[in-house]
Amino acid sequence: MDCTNFTEGNVISLEDRLPSEAVVNAVADVEDSDATDLPPLYGAIDTDALDAIFAGNAAASVTFEYHGYTVTVEDNEVVFVQQ
């Protein structure tokens, strides 16, 4: 995915964190709020499955809706958030 298509949003590295944690942090950054103020991510996606997909070296891309945003997690360990 070419992140230049995202005119509004956030790109965050998954470096040293679980994808599920990175997603919540990225949306919180976009909202300029605390991650604890957001609804639980498990209401939008199976967080264990999301983390498991990116635990290995397989190429993957997952896109889903969370808290009014389209979120994409890619194998290059980046989260894109767009409203």
Rounded alpha-carbon distances, angstroms, from residue 11 to 6, 33, 75? 9, 16, 13
> Looking at the whole model, is its pTM more than 0.85?
no
Q: What are the residue ranges in the chain where pLDDT is below 50?
A: 1-7
Q: Kindly state the tokens that stand for 33.
A: 């709020």
pLDDT, position 5: 44
Q: Kindly state the tokens that stand for 36.
A: 């604890």
Evaluate whether 47 touches 55 at the Cβ level (below 8 Å).
no
What does the mean pLDDT of the chain come to?
84
CA distance 19 to 71: 11
pLDDT, position 9: 61
